[in-house]
Structure 1
Amino acid sequence: MSIEEIDAKSVEQFDPYRVTGLWHIIATNHNMWKNKLTPTITYSIHDQLPDGRVRMNNLVEYYSKQLCVGYRPTSIEGIDTQLSIKPSRYQWRGSGILKFFTNESGFIFVDNETASDRPYQWIAKIYSPTIFSSGGIDLMTRTRQPPTHVLNDFVQFCRDDSIIRPRSANMFYTREKAGNEIYYIRDLQLD
């Protein structure tokens, strides 16, 4: 996904304060999640820059399989800095050893049902490639079992958009499934 496409697809209306808290990555096409369990992202406000842009702490947590010991908790920390292009556009920079790495992202699908004074309940974010991942799309919800209409609306959103459609074709569910089987989002049937 090019930076220009991320700019074009990111939503116009976005409130970073409504995105704070824990998010479950429900569907994704990031290959890094295929052998990980229950990935989550927690956003919290880091600070506000003098020009009004917001920086958010970004904590990614998941279980990673390690030889001889099974699944162990793992985390990646960084800071998302809001860009002046749109309120929904961000640049991630890693923390600690990862501080030399950046990533462009944008929120492309945002809860439009919850009152504006309440936290969003579902969002989708698109990422540019890095040396560690090919980039992609994450659908995130507050609960691991979102309402069916949210999944269906997201699938329809992906099918209707000429830029998003080809990039969402290989999305899969990250929910725990029997036998470690991967379920692709294209298998979800619309009502």
Structure 2
Amino acid sequence: MTTEDIDATSVEEFDPYRATGLWHILATNLNMWKDKLTPTITYSIHDQLPDGRVRLNDLVEYYSKRPCVGYRPTSLEGIDTQLPSKASRYQWRGDGILKLFTSEFGFVFVDNETTSDRPYQWVAIIYSSTLFSSGGINLMTRTRQPPTHVLNDFVRFCHDHPILKSKSVNMFYTRDKASDEVYYIRDLQTD
């Protein structure tokens, strides 16, 4: 994903305080998630910059398969800095040894049903490429079992969007159990 794609697809209205808390990565097209189990992201407020932009702590947790021992918990930490262009645009910088790496992302699909005084219940994020992964899209929800209409709204949104239509190809469900099957979300779901 290019910076231009991320800028063009990111939502205009976004409240980072409503995005704090635990998110389940429900569907994605980032290949790094194909062999991982139950990936989550937890956002918390890191600080507010003098110009009003917000920085978020970004904790990614998942289970990765290790030879001879099976699946073990793994985590990555970083800081997301809100960019001045849009409230929904951020730059991620890793923590520790990953501090050398950055990635840009933007929120492209945001819960429009929950009142503004409550946390978002679903969002989608578009990511730029890094040395470790190609760019892609994550659909994240507060639970692993969101209402069916959330997925359908997201699929329709991607099909109708001139940029996201091609960028959302080959999205698949993340796994919560060890299995070799990957399920793609190409069509609308039924209850």
Per the shorter chain, which TM-score range?
over 0.9
Report the counterpart of residue 176 of structure 1 in structure 2.
176
| Cα shift at 1:177 | 5.8
Q: Does the aligned pair in 1 maintain the 2:155–2:187 contact within 8 Å?
A: no
Match of 2:122 in 1: 122
* Structure 1 position 138, deviation (Å): 0.1
Structure 1 gap segments, 5+ residues each:
none
Taking the aligned partners of 1:45 and 1:156, their CA distance within structure 2 comes to 32
- Please report how far the alpha carbon of residue 180 of structure 1 lies from its aligned counterpart in structure 2 after TM superposition: 3.0
Q: Note if 1:20 corresponds to 2:8.
A: no
Q: Is the 8 A contact 1:111 1:120 kept in 2?
A: yes
- Aligned partners of 2:63, 2:3: CA distance in 1, in Å? 30
Where does residue 112 of structure 2 map in the other structure? 112
Measured against aligned partners, the alpha-carbon deviations of 1:71-110 in whole angstroms (never above 9, x if no partner) come to: 0000000000000000000000000000010000000000
TM-score by length of 1: 0.97
Task: State how many pairs are aligned.
Answer: 191
1:102 maps to which residue?
102
1:22 aligned partner, one-letter code: L
Cα deviation, residue 181, structure 1: 1.1
Give, as a single letter, the amino acid of the residue that structure 2 aligns with 1:169.
Answer: V
Q: Could you tell me how far apart the structure 2 residues matched to 1:167 and 1:151 are?
A: 16
> Cα distance, 1:178 vs. partner?
7.5
Structure 1 stretch 168-177 or stretch 26-35: which is displaced more? 168-177
Residues 37 and 177 in structure 2, CA contact (< 8 A), matched pair in contact too: no
Aligned-pair Cα RMSD in Å: 1.3
State the Cα distance separating 1:176 from its structure 2 match: 2.9
Is the contact made by 1:121 and 1:141 (CA closer than 8 Å) also made in structure 2?
A: yes
Aligned residue runs from structure 1 range 67-106, under 5 A: 67-106=67-106
Give the C-alpha shift of residue 63 in structure 1: 0.1
Rounded Cα–Cα distance in structure 2 between residues aligned with 1:129 and 1:178: 27
> Percent of aligned pairs with the same residue?
78
Gaps of 5+ in 2: none
Task: Determine the C-alpha separation between the residues in 2 that align with 1:62 and 1:27.
Answer: 14
The CA deviation string for residues 107-130 of structure 1, in whole angstroms up to 9 with x for no partner, is 000000000000000000000001
SS at 2:23's partner residue? Answer: strand
Quick one: distance in 1 between partners of 2:136 and 2:37? 18
